[in-house]
Structure 1
Amino acid sequence: MKKLLVFVALLSLLLPGCNRTLVDTTWAYKYADINGVGTVEVSSWTDYENSDMIQIKASDGTVYLTHSVNVVLRTK
């Protein structure tokens, strides 16, 4: 039992440093408010693991690449 507790404690210290996604969540957004552009209907969006950039593909086919501080993704 003591070995298990030590293992769990050690694992909890090492996992945050490995920078891996343990739980993958999918977020569905219908609209994006983009600074300088306005509100667009979202077809798909992608964020990048090692960057603050976000790519948004609008329902009309236009692709926007911008910094994440310039975008608000929303469902309504």
Structure 2
Amino acid sequence: MSIAAVDTAPPTEAADQAAVLLTVEEAARCLRIGRTTCYTLIRTGELESLTIGGLRRVPADAPAAYLARRRAERHAA
């Protein structure tokens, strides 16, 4: 699977609307990981996120950026 193939749009959103921010659950679904693991990645700074009001949101391009960094680290080792 290429990084570009990661689906960052929530399944409930219409195809003509691109999501700018994802919930933590949506980001976890994109990465095919659990919600707790996603929060751990956020807490350690590996996955970019921001707080808006009291809500934690993940930029739509952050899951793909995380995967790109992981792949680059793996190839560099």
Return the TM-score normalized by structure 2.
0.24
- Which structure shows the higher strand fraction? 1
Q: Which has the higher contact order (CA 8 A, sep 6+)?
A: 2
Larger Rg: 1
- Which structure shows the higher helix fraction? 2
